[in-house]
Structure 1
Amino acid sequence: MLYLQALSPESSAYHITVALALAPGTDIAALERAFQALVDHHAALRTTFAVAESLQRVHASGSAAFSFHAAACDPGELRQQLLAESERPFDLENGPLLRLGLFERPDGSSVLLLTVHHLVCDLWSLSLLARDLGVLYSGLLRDPGEVPRLEPEKVDFITHVRREREALAGETGERLWEFWRGELGASGGVADLDLPTDRPRPAVQSHSGAMVSARLGGGLAARLRTVARAHAATPHSTLLAALQVLLFRYSGQERFLVGSPTWGRSSADLWGTVGYFVNPVPLRADLSRELPAGDALRAARETVRRALRHQGFPFPLLAERMRPVRDPSRSPLFQVLFSWQKPPAFAAQLAALALGLGGGRLRLGELEAEGIELGVRSAQFDLSWLAAEPDGELAIAVQYSDALFDRATVERMLGHLGALLAGMVGSPERAIGELPLLSAAERRQLLEEWG
C-alpha cells in the first residue's frame, strides 16, 4: 500500500473517512482531549513513514498529535467541504495520519469529519478506536481532571511484523507459498478478469471513482442466511458465489480471481491492537454455464475455507512472485474486490458506516452521533463490492472506477446481482447460465419497447 500511495501521492483511495452529525450538547473540548488520549495510547496513530527507505517510524507517546481544525460552513456547501477535506493528501513522512475537522452549521449543530490513512487503520482497528473513544469521552465528562485508563495493547504492530517475517522465513512461509502457487498457477494460471467497460482502460490505472449503494431488504437477507445454512456456508460465501456468477455472465470467462480481505489477526493477542492488519486473498472462480447454483455456492465455500487456512502469506509478496512484471493499467492479480463488512460484535453499530451509508445511529458511551452519507471520489480497484447487514437488512455498496464505468452501468450491475441472488437462493438446483439476470423493468423494456 505504501508503494501504491507513493505512485499516486494525491490520491485519496487509501483514506478512511467517517462523517458524523454530533448530538446537541456534545462537549467539543472533552472530545478533543479524548482523541489526543487515543493517539497517546495507540502507537499506530503516532506512526509516520519514510517512503524512500520503506521505513515505519513510531513516535513516543505524548510527542505526537493529530490534526484538528474547526470551521463554519454553509449548509449548501457542507458536502463539498467535507469531501475536499477528506481528500486532502496526508504527509506520510511527517504525519499526522489522523485528522479531525469540525464543521459548525448556522443552527449551532456540528459535523465531525474523521479521516485516517489506511496504512495505520482497518475496520477492526476503527472499531477499537470507536470503543475506546466512548470510554475516554464519557470518563472526561464525569471527571475532566482524570483521563481514563485504557487496557494496554498486548502486542504492538511492530512486534507483529517481526513475528510475521520470522514465520515467513521458515517452514511456514514455504508451506503457504506452495499452496498459493498451486492454487493460482494450476491449469496454466488465471487470466485477468476482462469485464466489458464503458471506456477503454487507461494505460495507467486511474484511482478516480464513485460509489452507488442499495438496500436489498431484510427478506432477502433472511433467505440468504437460510440457503447458506443449508449448504453449510456463510452469508459471505453465498454472496461471493452470486458475485462470481454475475462476473462470469458479464465477461464469459470461466476462470478468474476476486479479491477478498481477511482480518490478518492470526492470534488472540492481536485483537486489541490498532494498525493495518488486513491481508487480501485472491479467490479463484472456476465456473461453467451448466453448473448448478448450489454447486457454485459449495465451490465458493471451499475456496474461501482454503484461502482462510492460508491467509498468512502477505498479498504484496504473493503479487510480486506471481506477477513479477506489473501491468500499470490494473491492480495486480485481481481487479474486483468483495468484502463482507462485519465489524466486531462490540461495534456492530458501525456496519452502516463501513458502507458509507448515512442515517445510522452511533452511541459510544455518552457520545452520540448520526452517520452522514458522504460518498467517495476514488477507487482502489475496477470494482469493489461491499456488503453489510445494518439493522438486519442486506445492503451493498459498489465503489467503481469512473475511468472505466458509468454510474448507470454500475447501478444495473447492482440490480443484476440482486436478481441473480434471488434466483440462486430460490432455485439452487438451477444452472447458473439459466438464472434470471434482468430486472422486471428491463424485461418489460426488452419485450415491449425493443421486441
Structure 2
Amino acid sequence: MLFSELMAALSTRAIRLQREEADLIVEGDDDTLDEVLWDALATHKPALLEMLAGLEDGWLSPALRITPDMLPLAGLDQAAIDRIVATLPGGAANLQDIYPLAPLQEGMLYHHLTAAEGDPYVLQAQLRFASPAHLQAFAEALDWVIQRHDILRTALAWEYLDQPLQVVWRKAPLACEAVGNLDGDKPLEQLRARFDSRHYRMDLAQAPLLRLVHGQDRDGRVLGLLLFHHTVMDHTGLDIVRREIHAYLAGDSERLPAPVPFRDLLARSRQAQDEQAHEAFFGAMLADIDAPTLAFGVQEVAGQAMEEARVTLDPGLSQRLRAQARSLGVSPASIMHLGLARLLGAWSGRGSVVFGSVLL
C-alpha cells in the first residue's frame, strides 16, 4: 500500500497515531485495524514518525486534513488541496487520491471546455430490460462495479490549478434517472436523441462520470442508456464492466481478478515519459510536411456546432472489409483509417495526409 493510500484509508477510520520517541502508538478498535492496515503502518512507520515529530501535541488524526505529502503525484500546495476537498461530498474522508491526467485525457478535457455545445466524448450504450426489477438489479450491479474500480470513481479538476488533475472519490454512487414515458414510434431513438452528444454535457467535476437513464415505451418495455465519458472509460473498458456486471448478477463476483489501480499505470507512464524523445520522433517523421491537412481549407472549427451522421454498411461490404483486414494482418479500423485518409487527401488537395485519431 502506498503512503497516500494509507493516509486515505486512515482518513475514513477512527484511528489516532502518536509518537513516543522511536515508537509509533496506534489507537483504534479491532474492527478498524485489519491485517492489511497493520502491514501498511509497519511499512511506512519512518514516514509517519517524521510527520508526527512536526506536530505540536504529537498526535495525528488523519481525518482532519489531506496534506501535500499524502499526494505525491499531484504536486499541489495546501490551499489547492483544501479547495478540492471542499468540493467533495463527505470532505476529506471521501478523497482517495489526486493525480495528473494522462495525455489523452487532457485532449478530451480540452475539447469539452472549448465545445460551444455538447461534448463529443460523451458516449452511449443502449440497454433493454425485461422488467423494472431487471433494471434495478442491473443498476445495483453497475454501482458495485463503479465502487470496485478507481477510474470509475474519478472526477476532473482544473479551475485555479496549474495543470488539470483527476480526483478519485472513495464513494461515488451511480446516478439512475427515470425520464418518463417514451411515446414515439422509435422510443430508443427518442431516448438517444434526448442525450445526444451534440447538445448533452456531463459535469466532469462530479464522479462517477457515468449515468443510467431509462424510460418505458408505450408497450411497457423498459429502455435505457448508459451514458459515460471517454475520459474514464472506452469501449474496451465497457466490455470489462459488462463482464463484471454479469459476474455479479450470477453470484460469481468473488472469482473476478483484483482491480488494477489506474494510478499505477499513470505513474509508470509518467516515469517513462520523455518529451524530447517524442518531439524528435515526430519531428523526423513529419519533417517534409509543410502545411496541415485541412478538409475544404477550413481551419477554425472550435466553437462550431457539431453534426453527426451514422451509416450502416451493406453486409457484403462489411465482409469484404474484414476479409481485406485479415489478409493484411491489421484491424478493420486500420482499413477505415486508410479510407478516411484517402477522403481527406481528396478534400484537401494534398498527397501527404496527416490527421489524429483516438487509439486504445
Q: TM-score, normalised by structure 2?
A: 0.60
Match of 2:229 in 1: 117
Q: Deviations over 1:291-341 (max 9, x none)?
A: xxxxxxxxxxxxxxxxxxxxxxxxxxxxxxxxxxxxxxxxxxxxxxxxxxx
Tell me, yes or no, if the aligned pair for 1:21 and 1:110 is still in contact at 8 Å: yes
Confirm whether residue 102 of structure 1 aligns to residue 202 of structure 2. Answer: no
Identical aligned residues as a percent: 27
Which residue, 167, 189, 194 being the options, matches 1:84?
A: 194
Asked whether 1:66 is paired with 2:174, we answer yes
Q: Is 1:180 aligned to 2:282, yes or no?
A: yes
Matches within 5 A, 1:23-34: 23=130, 27-34=134-141
**Gapped regions of structure 1 (runs ≥ 5):** 141-146, 264-451
TM-superposition CA deviations, 1:13-56 (whole Å, max 9, x none): 11011122224586233212101101111111111111222121
Q: Is 1:157–2:262 an aligned residue pair?
A: yes
Q: Residues 225, 125 of structure 1: CA spacing in aligned structure 2 closer, same or farther, 3 A cutoff?
A: closer
Q: Where does residue 428 of structure 1 map in the other structure?
A: none
* Alpha-carbon contact 2:116-2:303 (below 8 Å) kept: no
Aligned residue for 2:292?
A: 192
* Residue 222 of structure 1: how far off its partner (Å): 4.3
Larger Rg: 2
Report SS of the residue matched to 1:241.
Answer: helix
**Rounded Cα–Cα distance in structure 2 between residues aligned with 1:216 and 1:20:** 24
Give the corresponding residue for 1:13: 120
* Aligned equivalent of 1:57: 167
Indicate the SS of the match to 1:11. coil
Q: Do the aligned partners of residues 134 and 183 (structure 1) sit closer, same or farther apart at CA in structure 2, a change above 3 Å counting?
A: same
Alignment deviations for residues 355-400 of structure 1 (CA, whole Å, 9 cap, x no partner): xxxxxxxxxxxxxxxxxxxxxxxxxxxxxxxxxxxxxxxxxxxxxx
Runs (4+) of structure 1 moved beyond 6 Å? none
In the superposition, the TM-score normalised over structure 1's length comes to: 0.49
What amino acid sits opposite 2:157 in the alignment?
A
Shift of 1:210: 1.6
CA distance in 2, matches of 1:229, 1:40: 39
Distance in 2 of aligned mates of 1:18 and 1:150: 23
Q: Secondary structure at the match of 2:358?
A: strand
Shift of 1:110: 0.4
Counterpart-to-counterpart distance in 2, 1:150 and 1:160: 20
Deviation at 1:118, TM superposition (A): 1.1
Letter of the aligned partner of 2:258 in structure 1? P
Match of 2:111 in 1: 4
Superposed displacement of residue 125, structure 1: 0.7
Answer whether contact 1:102 1:113 (CA < 8 A) is retained: yes
Distance 1:110 1:156 in 2: 34
Corresponding residue of 1:212 = 310
The answer to whether the 8 A contact 1:74-1:106 is kept is yes
Between 1 and 2, higher relative CO (CA 8 Å, sep ≥ 6) is seen in 1
Distance in 2 (CA, whole Å) between partners of 1:90 and 1:237 is 30
Supply the AA of the counterpart residue of 1:152.
A
* Distance in 1 separating the partners of 2:299 and 2:283: 28
Shift of 1:225: 4.8
8 Å CA contact 1:168, 1:174 repeated in 2 = no
Aligned residues: 246
Report the counterpart of residue 139 of structure 1 in structure 2. Answer: 251
CA–CA distance in 2 between the matches of 1:58 and 1:18? 24
Q: Following TM superposition, by how much is the alpha carbon of 1:226 offset from its aligned partner in structure 2, in angstroms?
A: 4.9
Q: CA RMSD in A?
A: 2.9
